[in-house]
Amino acid sequence: MNLYVNGCSFTHGHKDFGGTDTMRPDSPPTWVWPSMLIPNFDTVVNQAWRGTCNNRIVRRTIDYLSKVNNPADWWVVIQWTSLERSEWFDYDTHSWYTQLLHRVVYDDWAVKGLEEQPRINRKGEIAVPYVNNIRTDEHKVLDLFYQTITLDTFLKQRGFDKVLYTGMSKNCMLSTHMNILKETIQTEQMVDDQHIHIHSPNVHLFDQLYSLLQHDRYVQPLSVVTAGMEESSEDGHPNKQGHEVFSRYILNEMENRA
């Protein structure tokens, strides 16, 4: 059995890079949860990237798994990341770049972009007002629906039936936003950090999209499973112990579905 994973720094790691492949200085460290699962699988492919966005997760997962000829022999674990992140393509460097709220993150394939860093950074600065002011919280949740449905449709059509979805945090899980929406519609009272307004014209759309999800594919987000095992009070990434705990958790979830 083989394992494919994708996500952000919660899956790729946030330090000590180059551990799993000495020829690739940006390869994941040996202590992140996918690396800890290497003894349990014939092959482990970790295409997660620190600072990445959900669009890249979808794009790279489809790119890799479209070339796999034995989908029945693969587990796929997708770790969704921060909803505010997006990405854009630069034709001069022929590379993708993740746009954060304040800066640009270079994709692991963006080699040429390093030579044009000032220009790429200027393009990122131009995008900052969009990601901060125009792209609403509701828009971000809607994007995650589209990303999830697109990827899940691809996986099902290709025959990948061993699939689990997790997230960096509760905020990356669609169930979080839909449960909040359902509860606040009943009380007619919004709560802090609610992404979908109770009077949104898109409430029915969200309900319909939510009904399309295969909910038994979802597991707890990393920050919930590894609570209390963070790198530090300032750094919320799981520490080595947290990654070890999550590796056992995800393996147990796979065994329960076998």
Give the C-alpha separation, 110 to 76, whole Å: 25
DSSP letters along 116-137, please? Answer: GHHHHHHHHHHHHHIIIIIS-H
In a domain, 199, yes or no: no
Single pTM value for the model? 0.96
Give pLDDT, residue 113.
66
Q: Tell whether 58 is covered by a domain.
A: yes
Tokens of 255: 């065994």
Residue 228 within a domain: yes
- pLDDT for the residue 11: 98
Residue 219 in any domain: the answer is yes
What pLDDT is stored for residue 114 in this prediction? 72
Token pair for residue 151? 């990827």
Residue 38 · residue 196 · CB < 8 Å: no
Alpha carbon separation from 193 to 67, 111, 198, 246 (Å, rounded)? 40, 37, 13, 27
Cα atoms in the Cβ-side hemisphere of radius 13 Å centred on 198: 15
Tokens standing for residue 168: 């960096």
pLDDT at 132: 84
**Token couple for 24:** 């690739």
In 3D space, the residue among 56, 130, 43 whose CA is nearest the CA of residue 98 turns out to be 56
pLDDT of residue 106: 93
Query: 20 is in which domain, residue-wise?
Result: 2-84+135-170+215-257
Instruction: Flag whether 42 is in a domain.
Output: yes
Give the residue ranges of the chain where pLDDT is below 70.
113
Assigned domain for 41 exists: yes
Domain assignment of residue 107, yes or no: no
Q: Is residue 106 part of a domain?
A: no
Q: Provide the number of structural domains found in the chain.
A: 1
pLDDT (0 to 100) of residue 23: 85
Residue 3, classed as helix, strand or coil, is: strand
- Residue 141 belongs to a domain with what CATH number? 3.40.50.1110
Helix (H) or strand (E) holding 258: none
- Kindly report, residue by residue over 162-218, the tens digit of the pLDDT: 999 999 999 999 999 999 999 999 999 999 999 999 999 999 999 999 999 999 999
**Encoded amino acid at 161, one letter:** D
Cα 221 from Cα 242, distance rounded (Å): 12
